[in-house]
Amino acid sequence: MTWYLVRRIGQSVAVVIGVMILTFILVHLEPGSTAKAVLGLKATPARIALFDNTYGLNRPLPVQFWLYCDHVLHGNFGVSYTAGQPVSSLIAQRLPRDAVLLGASTLLALIIGVPMGLYQALHHGTVRDDVVAGTWFTLYSAPDFMEALLLIAIFSVHFHILQPNFPGGITSVGGLFGDLNAMVLPVVVLAINSVAGFSQYMRSSAIEELAQDYIRTARAKGVRQRVIFTRHLLRNAVLPIVTILGLSLPDIVAGAVIAEAIFNFPGMGLLFWQSALSHDFPVMLGATLIIGVATVLGNLVADVAYGILDPRIRHAAT
């Protein structure tokens, strides 16, 4: 297991370095003058030169990359061209809030999706299976912005029960918990789109496991149905969900741009999107790096968890 871990971590580091190089090249391939994009059409040549000098954009690209790597290794992601703040501060403000919001929605989706998948597996091929699957697929196929606006129209505009979005002043995780009413709609909207995935993975996996010999044997031995489900079926059927959860880590870090836009929740998604639109390279590079790290970390966690849950994988790797 130790060697397996070392090998996977080594691969992850290589991937992150690759992401850094690729992202740096790609953002600098963007056409046009960065200074002009930030300062506007009327930026004079003198002002453009000042901007380029301030941010080191007048240096050769390899030198810029070398300096960027040096700064990153020292924990310095640079300063946003548009916000004028350190990129690390911008990310630090947004990431914990995104983690709470998207973590809560993922948790809600799991709480609904896993039992729903099991229920469908146990009734697979019946009308109940079809109704549940149809319902969640309908919700899954609907655009999340439409669901968001619909729920806001019903619960906020019409009935005035829930807040339509987060108040502008919330900047901390504590602030989110201080206004739980505002969290309801975004968490629900984000969860809706995940439930179908979780439930269908769970359903397929459970159907497959239910056909396995060890389940049949357990039943033949007279093991109680509840014990079969919880001790045998659930543990084995949940493996694909672990993989999905691991892979959803970068989603949590990358934010949810549409939900953030509609629910007035300035998170990583909007930060990344706006930085891409405004040629804000330091933010783009910082956000991409964080997302890249989250991606390899998520994969790593999924692999390790998979190994813990399924000893066959662990042994095969050693």
- Which residues contact another protein (rule: CB under 8 A)? 30-34, 36-42, 44, 46-47, 50-51, 54, 82-85, 89, 93, 149, 152, 156-157, 160, 163-165, 167-171, 260-266, 270, 277-279
Tokens (6 digits) for 7? 């090998």
Any idea how long the chain is? 318
The answer to whether 20 and 292 are in contact (CB under 8 A) is yes
Alpha-carbon distance values, 40 to 49, 77, 270, 285 (Å): 14, 24, 21, 22
CB atoms within 10 A of CB 158: 9
Nearer to another protein, 236 or 264 (CB): 264
Q: How far is the CB of 37 from another protein (least distance, A)?
A: 4
* Helix, strand or coil, per DSSP, at residue 140: helix
Q: How far is the CB of 251 from another protein (least distance, A)?
A: 19
Tokens (6 digits) for 311? 């000893």
Count of CA atoms in the C-beta half-sphere (13 A) of 297: 11
Nearer to another protein, 17 or 150 (CB): 150
Give the C-alpha separation, 171 to 177, whole Å: 11
Q: How far is the CB of 270 from another protein (least distance, A)?
A: 6
Nearer to another protein, 36 or 123 (CB): 36
Nearer to another protein, 117 or 164 (CB): 164
Give Cα 298 distance to the centre of its chain: 10
Q: How far is the CB of 39 from another protein (least distance, A)?
A: 5
Nearer to another protein, 53 or 212 (CB): 53
Q: How far is the CB of 94 from another protein (least distance, A)?
A: 10
